[in-house]
Amino acid sequence: MSDQEFIVTWEVSYSEAEKVYHTTEYIDSENLDTLKEYLEENGIEHTPEMNTPYHPGDFNIEWVKIQDAETDKELWRDPYAEDIPDD
């Protein structure tokens, strides 16, 4: 079985600047469950903050939405995250 391509939306929040950005990354995985498991274990290895404007101080990254890359269909959304872009 070949891997499926997903679009992961990351939220990057800078606490001192009180700024929040969203950026996307394409990731291949066997299925949605294995992708979520991978992100839970290895999310820190990704660097979505490199795709946002720089702000000094601490920041936090979280994956907040997953879409099917082929259809753009939303497959998962963090129920606690706010203001996630729909596109």
The residue whose two tokens read 């939306």 is 9
User: What is the number of alpha carbons within 13 Å of residue 33 lying toward its C-beta?
Assistant: 0
DSSP string of 13-50?
A: EETTTTEEEEEEEEEEESSHHHHHHHHHHHGGG--GGG
pLDDT tens for 68-79 read: 999 999 999 999
pLDDT tens for 35-86 read: 999 999 999 999 999 999 999 999 999 999 999 999 999 999 999 988 888 7
CA distance 65 to 6: 10
The predicted structure's pLDDT at residue 87: 64
Q: Where are the domains of the chain?
A: 4-77
CA distance 45 to 81: 21
pLDDT tens for 9-21 read: 999 999 998 999 9
Question: For the whole prediction, is pTM greater than 0.75?
Answer: yes
